[in-house]
Amino acid sequence: MNNDVRQTLREAVKRMPAFPQSMQHILELSGDINCSQKDQVEVIKKDPVFTLKILRLVNSPYFGLSREITSINHASVYLGQNTLKNVALGLAAVDAIPRSAADKLDMGAFWLHSLAVATCAAMLGRKLGVSRDEVSTFFAVGLLHDLGKVVFALYMPEQYESVIRAAAEPGNILHECEREILGATHAEAGGLLAEKWNLPEEMRDTIAAHHSIGEGGSFMLTDCLFAANQISKSLSFGSAWDFHVEPLPSGVQNRLGMTISELIKDMPTLGKEVENARIFVRLGEFR
């Protein structure tokens, strides 16, 4: 990406809304090793709408609890500090997307693809034995991985329409069309947006690199996100405007121990779990 393209992209990202103050404060606290779970809860309590959203999510089929949780304190105990942060992060990110995005992209299809990638990445994380708290990071990264497309659609609309038309041609790959027409990819735009929102470094780097498998480095989160993206496209969950399903690089396949088709067979509950995860978008969009 040359300097002119980077500057244009940064200007577009600047126009995206900021996170609510409560979420900004939570992210600041999460970077402080002395931050306690109680500190996080006290921030959330000051935002009644945010509190209500989190409680509705915790009591939804997504978590499948046997009894109702009626306070954010109890929700915090059940979820744990990292999961509470990532639940709040997912809701805040959906809320931050301007409603005008729906005039440029089919946001129903966009969110369905994002939810499928998030759910699948979390399932792959569990398959590899990561903790429940860490699984929430896999879900959050999957949910946010394509937000660079929204930046392009909102603030470079004519160019991005050209990208989507080009990507619809057989054999073309979306991020390659973006590079050719715009000079940058949605992954790079998403990384800059994650930087604007002050997301944790691991999440920023994974979003920015989710189409760069094989270009150096191999991390569990990136591998699971890449595989989840291809699985979701294979099963046509929503639309990524990218119809090319890439085979798993050998390193990713070795880590997961299966091909894409084998992984799909090994996740028979994926569709149901994606349906349960729709609550993130419904609650996130409620204002």
* Region 236-240 average pLDDT: 93
Q: Which two tokens stand for residue 117?
A: 């990638």
Residue 268: pLDDT band by 50, 70, 90 thresholds?
very high
Q: Which amino acid is at 253?
A: Q
pLDDT at 216 over 60: no
> How many Å apart are CA 175 and CA 163, to the nearest integer?
9
- Is the same domain home to 41 and 175? no
Q: What is the pLDDT of residues 248-259, one digit of tens each?
A: 999 999 999 999
Is 13 inside any structural domain?
A: no
pLDDT at 215 over 70: no
Segment holding 16, helix H or strand E? none
Is 250 inside any structural domain?
A: yes
pLDDT at 212: 81
pLDDT at 214: 59
Question: 222: burial class by Cβ within 10 Å (0-12, 13-18, 19+)?
Answer: buried
- Is the same domain home to 49 and 76? yes
What is the domain-level CATH number for residue 273?
A: 1.10.3210.10
Is 251 inside any structural domain?
A: yes
> How many Å apart are CA 72 and CA 52, to the nearest integer?
9
pLDDT at 20: 84
pLDDT at 5: 81
- Is the same domain home to 84 and 118? no
**Complete DSSP assignment for 138-159:** HHHHHHHTTHHHHHHHHHSHHH
Lowest pLDDT segment from 19-28, 118-127, 169-178, 245-254: 19-28
pLDDT at 60: 95
> How many Å apart are CA 42 and CA 73, to the nearest integer?
9
Range of the domain at 33: 18-96
Is 9 inside any structural domain?
A: no
Q: What is the pLDDT of residues 10-57, one digit of tens each?
A: 999 999 999 888 888 888 887 777 788 888 899 999 999 889 999 999
Q: What is the pTM of this model?
A: 0.94
Q: What is the pLDDT of residues 68-105, one digit of tens each?
A: 999 999 999 999 989 999 999 999 999 999 999 999 99
- Is the same domain home to 36 and 175? no
